[in-house]
Structures are given as C-alpha cells and as structure tokens.
Structure 1
C-alpha cells in the first residue's frame, strides 16, 4: 500500500492480524478493535491511562469506550492508505496492559454496525439524513457520526426500483471467526437466508417480515 498522509505506510487488515501480539483484536468496518471485559466501571476505567500512553508512544488516535461491563478500544479509519503501520504495536501494548489488570478479551463481542440506505435512483436522501442525524458527509456516498459513536450510513440507488419507496438494511461487521455462529444464531431466531453466494465474505439474511441484515466478515481478512 502507498505512503500515508502522516508519513507512515498503511497496512491491510490481514497484515494487521498477522502481526504478533494482536490475538485479542479483529478488524471491522470501523478499524482494528478489541473488547476487554470488566467487573466494574472502576476496573474498566483503569485501562484508559495505559491506552493513552500506548497511543502517544505509537502515534495512534484511538477511540475508547468505557462501560461498567468492559472497555472497547478501536483504531478508527482516519487515512485512506490503510491501518496505521504502528497499530499492531499499539494493540499489543493495550492487550498487555489489559492482561496485567485481569481484563479478559472477548473477540465474540467485537462488531460494528452500518445502515445501508437504498434509495430511488433519482432521489438523493443523503442531505436529509445528514441534517436529521447531525452527521458529516463521508466520501461521495456515505455519512458518519463526527464522534464515531453512531452507525455509519451508506447510500446507494436501487436499480429497477419503484418511485417513492426506499429499502434499507443493516450491515453487521463481525470477526471472521465469529461470522458463521452469528448467522446460525439469526437463522435459529426466525431469520431466513436470502443469499449466501458471497459467503464467507457476507451472508444476506431477512427477518420473519423481510427486514434485511447482512452479516459481513470480509473486513477482518482483506489483504488488498
């Protein structure tokens, strides 16, 4: 991959996953992510200072979500050239700090959720959603929460559609080693397999009343 705007070389999700010390981490649509389970808010908050120290050491700008149940640490996508080259080093330092504090990693809880807004081919729904949600435009077709706490939206036209009707579905990005179990759980809960022709990159599911959900795992293994 090319030279990033910060002067370092970006790496792919697969290259990140091959690095040493990142077994706790997976890559979703919102970048490398780890979830560390805690028994109290104080225990969870104890990981914040080590994460900040690791971030300053490695030149990373992470997102830290602290809850009584645990801590979510992400390296959000800030550079089109890829994941920062020092992200694996940062991830390893955070995992080490979590282990020292007896905060166990739980990769099964890693995920990011996007909303795929399908719109009539002659409509432009993005300005409405930007205004209604207070989101920022992202690229030519997407929208994102400026604080990265809400789901990212993608806008794409429906081909052969009917004017006045939009169809929207959720994209749920999970680790590659968790995708099949998530699909099976959704099917056991009454879902229907709409399309598995792209599996194991993603499965298209439908709820009992045909609301769409794509379970996607390709971001965890992409090596482009």
Structure 2
C-alpha cells in the first residue's frame, strides 16, 4: 500500500467507506479496506490480480494483492497504518467491477486479519525488543511487518486480571463477530470480558489464552 500521508486527502471512517457506492462486499479490518475473491484456479487469480493492479494504477494507489491458488485477497489503504480516504473507496469499486466482469464475487466468511496485543507492566516498554526479534518497523502506534504478511503488534498496560497477558486480536466483518465468538465458546472457550459486546468479545481458551474477536472496526464512525 502506498503511503499517502503527505497528500491533501482526508481520512474517512469505516462507516463513510461503506456509504460510498460500489463498496458492497468489502470490510474495514486491521490494515485497511479488504475483500477476498475465491477463484477456480491460480491462473484465474493471476489474471484478476493483474487487472486489479491496472485498475488501481489509474488512481495512483497500490493495494496489497495476495494471490493464492484458489483466492485473491485485496487490501487498500491510504497509508501503512491502514487509514482510508475516498480514493480507497474508488479502488474498491473498480476492483469489484473487475471481479464482476470475471464472474468473481467476494466471500466475507473467509475474511479476517489478526494482530497481537503485548501486555506490559506499568512504565515498561518492550517495543524495541519486538522490533529486533521480528524485523518489523514502527508505523505510528503499532509495529508492523514491512510486507504486511505477519500480524501487527500493539502494546498496552496490563490492567485486567483473569486472562493471559499477551493476547491475539482477530478482526472480522461486523456480521461475523457473534458467530465467530459463539463458535470459539462452543469449542471450549469462555467469555472473559463482555462489556463491549457486540463491538468485541474478550475470550479465554480452556487454558486461559486470550483472544479478542473484534467486529467494531468494520462499522466505526470514528476515523481510525
């Protein structure tokens, strides 16, 4: 994704993104607006990826395109932090037009992104250790894989007992939050923090590992 922090374009919220024409089937998760398009072959996916690249190039935007044998994931954002502007909504519309022309449709049930929340004691900063250990880079308030393949890391002060210290955040489309949390609880997990349902579910595994199912970002009215 091209960093456009220096342009005059204004950030938009997830809600504003969804209000733009042509964004149906896209969702705002960690890293930007995203969609996954199942394909019947690697060759079909490669052709689709090339057409997506051409469509985005006309807008001077470089989305991430993840080509797999039977699916292509596309993620667009104004900068590496994942913030959006109106150009991203237009990228989504054009990508969806390309997909429709090829007989492809997005599948929200397969869409998710993950990040890791690193708990720290008061006054402790371990970010330099994680930067060195993972070969990541600092992007605003998170640490990120320069190629955006691995999960992002964010840091918080440990202030809630009862769950494991470091936890995984799983961002899903808004309407996928409740069934995903229910499935995890049915598989032996428990609800550890439920204060903000249906925005997010704070879960714990049978062995007290922490996982948050985050559905709030996809419908947020706030510019993130």
Settle same-fold status: TM greater than 0.5: yes
Q: Secondary structure at the match of 2:86?
A: coil
Offset at residue 16 of structure 1 (A): 0.5
Instruction: State the superposition RMSD in angstroms.
Output: 2.0
Match of 2:196 in 1: 198
2-structure distance, mates of 1:130, 1:159: 24
For structure 1, which segment, 94-103 or 34-43, has the greater mean C-alpha deviation from structure 2 after superposition? 94-103
Deviations 1:156-178 (A, max 9, x none): 222488xxxx8100000111011
1-structure distance, mates of 2:160, 2:191: 23
Q: Is the 8 A contact 2:185 2:191 kept in 1?
A: yes
Q: Secondary structure at the match of 1:58?
A: coil
Unaligned 5+ residue runs, structure 1?
none
Change (3 A) 1:169 1:83: same
Match of 1:157 in 2: 157
Offset at residue 10 of structure 1 (A): 2.1
Match of 1:113 in 2: 114
2-structure distance, mates of 1:89, 1:38: 23
Q: Is the 8 A contact 2:99 2:105 kept in 1?
A: yes
Q: How does 1:26-175 map to 2 (within 5 A)?
A: 26-76=27-77, 78=79, 82-139=83-140, 141-159=141-159, 167-175=165-173
Match of 1:9 in 2: 10
For structure 1, which segment, 152-161 or 84-93, has the greater mean C-alpha deviation from structure 2 after superposition? 152-161
Which of 158, 173, 176 does residue 174 from structure 2 map onto?
A: 176
Deviations 1:96-131 (A, max 9, x none): 111221222101111110000102224321111110
Offset at residue 42 of structure 1 (A): 0.7
1-structure distance, mates of 2:160, 2:118: 16
Deviations 1:70-111 (A, max 9, x none): 000001351779412121111111111112212221011111
1-structure distance, mates of 2:115, 2:81: 18
1-structure distance, mates of 2:13, 2:75: 15
Q: Is the 8 A contact 1:75 1:87 kept in 2?
A: yes
Q: Secondary structure at the match of 1:47?
A: helix
Q: Under a length normalisation based on structure 2, what TM-score does the superposition of the two structures give?
A: 0.90
Deviations 1:10-57 (A, max 9, x none): 211101011111111000021100000012111111111221122112
Change (3 A) 1:160 1:185: closer
Between the two proteins, the alignment pairs up a number of residues equal to 217
